[in-house]
Structure 1
């Protein structure tokens, strides 16, 4: 079993669902299949392509679609360099100079898979593809809406699993926003995190806590955030618009600013 997935969809028979938590494992599995594909026989490669991309079926009324869609700012990159048939060959030549953290990680993980897979014999690569496709399982927790999905996400991920405090806060705060605006504020949150950088984003939240608390940390960062920064009843949209984003802008100015000292005569 690879992991559990928490998804919000319209029902058991709906082919589309938004992954609230677990997309990293799905992304990794997709990268593995894509890296294996050019190293297998033509027939085996076609089998993997079917797991990555669904072709239109006029009888069922379905259209061409990628089986996994990343968030908007990463989807095009992922499709071009990972999911498309010749994407991995192009990925080797992509410069890392202007890549966001997420795109950089996609590139590095893909190239690592390619490097390691070349050390396996053709027979072992074929067996690995078969094992991953046939013997890896996900436990899927499906909910009818985002509110329920975020509540389940928070419960299942407050037991010491490898999530950042900002990940949990994101789930809790965006879960309180009206469903019609959740996608917009999710994009705002993720765009801010991309602009600052994932590690620096955690530092930013520590600085914001200090601004509100004005004392050294006595409990966990998450506990003090809930007490002093975003207590119950906080307007989550207001926090994102008027606290997180402005402080992120200020943090970026401070972090990247250069100051030339003047020589006093």
Structure 2
């Protein structure tokens, strides 16, 4: 019996096209938590700084992102790339909150949050949605315009997971580095990120297919175990209003 293979789509795109309405990134409940520490966050910034100092139009390749995504929908479940997408969002949010130029600040914020459409009563939406237990923290303390200035002073008592403490600590070290740059250099960094920083998006509408792609590519990051895939299928079969409860129990 012939079985049609699930369609796969791969594309090399810059961040200026990645953080648009074409993609609505969601970290599924079965994914492991955000786990990058200060060393990884600072290394990412150092890599960007090196690319910026080369002062050329040479593209900077950031890596790949593996998604469960239907071509007809913007909904994009992130199978590989959570750490980079989350850290990029932290970096962009810190950068946004350090500049004074309203137009430029708005441009950076557009990479973090899809603007509201007032005439259609559509509220602003985050470009990246984290796992449920960290989602509201990230939205309130990172993605909202101006939020990262206060985030760096949040105490451990105001956080409930290791991921939230990591988000705070990474925002703090990135802010400490970028605050000394000056607005003109921050603008150059943003232009470099938007225009000539590229990722390869690999998308398929089937979870098992996405996991096979991830395994073959052997991409950097925290690999999903077979139990993670099984968990995703079990949790996915539960009615949406009950999924969080059973994901927490698991």
TM-score of the superposed pair, with normalisation by structure 2: 0.65
Contact 1:5 1:19 in 2 (8 A): yes
Aligned residue for 1:37, secondary structure, equals helix
CA distance in 1, matches of 2:140, 2:104: 21
Q: 1:48 aligns with which of 100, 108, 112?
A: 108
Larger Rg: 1
Change (3 A) 1:172 1:49: same
The root-mean-square deviation of aligned C-alpha atoms, in Å, is 2.9
CA distance in 1, matches of 2:189, 2:228: 35
CA distance in 2, matches of 1:77, 1:124: 29
Aligned residue for 2:237, secondary structure, equals helix
Change (3 A) 1:178 1:72: closer
Which 4+ stretches in 1 moved above 6 angstroms? 58-61, 182-187
In the alignment, structure 1 residue 21 sits paired with structure 2 residue 80: yes
Q: 1:131 aligns with which of 192, 197, 201?
A: 192
Superposition pairs of residues 84-103 of structure 1, within 5 angstroms = 84-97=144-157, 98-103=159-164
Aligned residue for 1:81, secondary structure, equals helix
**Corresponding pairs, count:** 187
Q: 2:231 aligns with which of 161, 168, 174?
A: 174
In the alignment, structure 1 residue 75 sits paired with structure 2 residue 135: yes
Aligned residue for 1:50, secondary structure, equals helix
Structure with the bigger RCO (C-alpha within 8 Å, sep 6+) is 2
CA distance in 1, matches of 2:227, 2:171: 27
Per the alignment, residue 216 of structure 2 pairs with: 155
In the alignment, structure 1 residue 65 sits paired with structure 2 residue 130: no
Change (3 A) 1:60 1:152: farther
Aligned residue for 2:71, secondary structure, equals coil
CA distance in 2, matches of 1:105, 1:124: 26
Change (3 A) 1:94 1:58: closer
In the alignment, structure 1 residue 110 sits paired with structure 2 residue 162: no
Q: Which has a greater percent of helix?
A: 1
Change (3 A) 1:187 1:2: farther
Change (3 A) 1:90 1:171: same
Contact 1:175 1:182 in 2 (8 A): no
Q: 1:38 aligns with which of 93, 97, 106?
A: 97
CA distance in 1, matches of 2:233, 2:126: 30
Gaps of 5+ in 1: 193-239, 241-265
Contact 1:151 1:172 in 2 (8 A): no
CA distance in 2, matches of 1:147, 1:176: 10
